[in-house]
């Protein structure tokens, strides 16, 4: 190995010795003006010249020989088994050319003074596959041994070159940043580079503790929020049930019960037992359906339609009028649900406050269809109209207003409970066409709850 090394040195020295014009000098004889750091056009440190060592493109060498030939220095640098031959052409005190034989680089001297401390951006822990180092402000610690900073430089404030010293040896170190992270190369390690400790790794213990605290705080407030939502739902449910009971009392009012039973009794007194039995059966079924629905928030549409039909048949016993129930073919009445007993109060209002006071033909229609992705129920009568309807007693006025308010309250409660946008629109038909009379009630409900 020594013979090979000597042979390579002799080969490199042949051009110099053959010229006969070069003069060997010692590192201590180097001109003060060329000592320091030199950068290329990209502001990257390419050359660091000191009396004890020289750094060329991130490699540190010790001087083996320096031959000065006019304004050119021919240098042979060695570091372990590495040998490097290059020339330095001095143009002036601020410019120099580095000739490596295969490439020539024009360099400019860095005017900044060397660093006295390692910058904060480099301080901290750095990790390799098996190695770990700690960078302090004045040294680098590896396996408990410090490598002291003797020189540092940066031309751009991002990339730094450091010269470290330990037990008579100099080591070169530099950092670089790419898409994969921030790395640091150490001359005393065999690996290419170490990666800087991430923020999360550095503060892992604190972050885990903070995460646990935040989790507990969030869990506490989520628990409180869930309890508040549950309490609100329970309150809404209780209110909903109370509204349903009020709706039952509104529908199955004493006047209706008395009138229906009186009409059935009249059929019995006339000896029309078959008809009386039929309507008595209808009445009992309506009572059962109403009581069954009182326990439910939602019922199938066909159940609501059955209740309305039985109610209308019973009302026809005491008041002569024609009615029809229209169902759009695209409605699946056995799948669609609606709030229980929502429609019947409007049908009752149409009969009591609309048709009852009208002379001549009396007609009522109830229509179910889909409009703009909403279930729409239209209740239309040709009675005297909502504006001209005059209840005979103050109780009738109060009952009419109470019934409408009750229906609107139920709609508001349904919207709050099921997060829907159901609504009721009441229109006086005579306002739109003076030749027609009556009232149109439009109930808009979602197709799904």
Strand order in the sheet with 423-428: 322-327, 363-371, 374-381, 439-446, 423-428
CA–CA separation, 165 and 148 (whole Å)? 5
- Split at pLDDT 50, 70, 90, the class of 11 is very low
Give me the half-sphere count of Cα atoms (radius 13 Å) on the Cβ side of residue 345. 28
CA–CA separation, 279 and 131 (whole Å)? 96
> Beta 54-56 vs 45-49: how paired, if at all?
antiparallel
State pTM to two decimals: 0.47
Residue 1 pLDDT > 60: no
Q: What is the arithmetic mean of pLDDT over 304-308?
A: 89
C-alpha distances out from residue 362 to 292, 379, 427, 444, Å: 31, 14, 18, 25
- Split at pLDDT 50, 70, 90, the class of 331 is very high
Tokens 């009379």: give the residue: 437
Residue 299, pLDDT score: 86
Q: What is the arithmetic mean of pLDDT over 259-278?
A: 81
Q: What is the mean pLDDT of the chain?
A: 83
Residue 293, pLDDT score: 66
Residue 241, pLDDT score: 63
Q: What is the arithmetic mean of pLDDT over 90-118?
A: 92
C-alpha distances out from residue 259 to 124, 252, 264, 315, Å: 93, 11, 9, 9
Measured from the Cβ of residue 279, the count of other Cβ atoms closer than 10 Å reads 20
Residue 171 pLDDT > 90: yes
Q: 148, 139 in Cβ contact below 8 A?
A: yes
CA–CA separation, 383 and 434 (whole Å)? 13
Residue 203, pLDDT score: 65
Residue 319, pLDDT score: 83
pLDDT tens digits for 39-48? 999 899 999 9
> Which sign, positive or negative, has the C-alpha torsion 99, 100, 106, 112?
negative
Residue 254, pLDDT score: 57
C-alpha closest to that of 47 among 102, 86, 101, 4: 86
Residue 395, pLDDT score: 46
**Three-state SS for 383?**
coil
- Split at pLDDT 50, 70, 90, the class of 235 is confident
The residue with greater pLDDT, 275 or 336, is 336
Q: What is the arithmetic mean of pLDDT over 129-151?
A: 91
Q: 193, 202 in Cβ contact below 8 A?
A: no
H or E element, residue 96: strand 95-99
Q: What is the arithmetic mean of pLDDT over 184-208?
A: 76
């Amino acid at each position: 190995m020594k013979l090979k090394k000597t042979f390579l040195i002799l080969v490199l020295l042949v051009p110099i010795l053959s010229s006969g014009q070069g003069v060997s000098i010692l590192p201590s004889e180097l001109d003060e003006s060329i000592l320091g750091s030199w950068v290329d056009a990209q502001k990257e440190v390419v050359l660091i010249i000191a009396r004890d060592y020289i750094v060329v493109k991130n490699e540190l060498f010790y001087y083996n020989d320096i031959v000065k030939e006019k304004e050119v220095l021919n240098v042979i640098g060695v570091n372990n088994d590495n040998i490097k031959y290059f020339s330095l052409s001095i143009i002036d005190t601020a410019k120099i050319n580095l000739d490596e034989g295969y490439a020539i680089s024009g360099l400019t001297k860095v005017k900044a003074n060397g660093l006295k401390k390692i910058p904060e951006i480099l301080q901290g822990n750095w990790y390799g596959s098996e190695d770990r180092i700690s960078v302090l402000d004045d040294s680098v610690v590896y396996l408990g041994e410090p490598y002291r900073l003797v020189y540092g430089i940066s031309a751009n404030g991002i990339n730094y070159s450091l010269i470290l010293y330990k037990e008579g040896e100099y080591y070169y170190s530099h950092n670089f940043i790419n898409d994969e992270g921030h790395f640091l190369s150490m001359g005393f390690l065999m690996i290419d580079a170490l990666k800087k400790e991430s923020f999360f790794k550095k503060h892992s213990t604190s972050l885990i503790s903070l995460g646990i605290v935040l989790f507990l705080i969030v869990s506490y407030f989520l628990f409180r929020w869930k309890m508040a939502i549950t309490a609100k739902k329970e309150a809404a449910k209780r209110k909903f049930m109370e509204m349903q009971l009020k709706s039952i009392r509104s529908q199955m009012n004493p006047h209706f019960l008395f009138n229906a039973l009186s009409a059935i009794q009249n059929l019995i007194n006339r000896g029309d037992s078959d008809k009386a039995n039929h309507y008595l059966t209808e009445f009992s079924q309506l009572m059962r359906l109403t009581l069954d629905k009182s326990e439910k928030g939602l019922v199938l549409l066909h159940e609501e339609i059955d209740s309305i039909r039985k109610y209308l048949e019973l009302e026809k016993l005491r008041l002569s009028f024609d009615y029809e129930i229209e169902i759009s073919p695209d409605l699946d009445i056995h799948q669609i649900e609606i709030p229980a007993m929502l429609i019947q109060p409007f049908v009752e209002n149409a009969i009591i406050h609309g048709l009852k006071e009208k002379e001549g033909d009396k007609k009522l229609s109830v229509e179910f269809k889909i409009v703009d992705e909403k279930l729409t129920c239209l209740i239309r009568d040709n009675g005297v109209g909502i504006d001209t309807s005059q209840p005979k007693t103050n109780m009738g006025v109060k009952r009419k207003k109470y019934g409408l308010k009750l229906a609107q309250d139920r709609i508001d409660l349904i919207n709050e409970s099921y997060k829907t946008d159901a609504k009721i629109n009441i229109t006086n038909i005579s306002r739109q066409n003076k030749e027609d009379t009556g009232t149109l009630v439009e109930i808009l409900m979602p197709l799904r709850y």
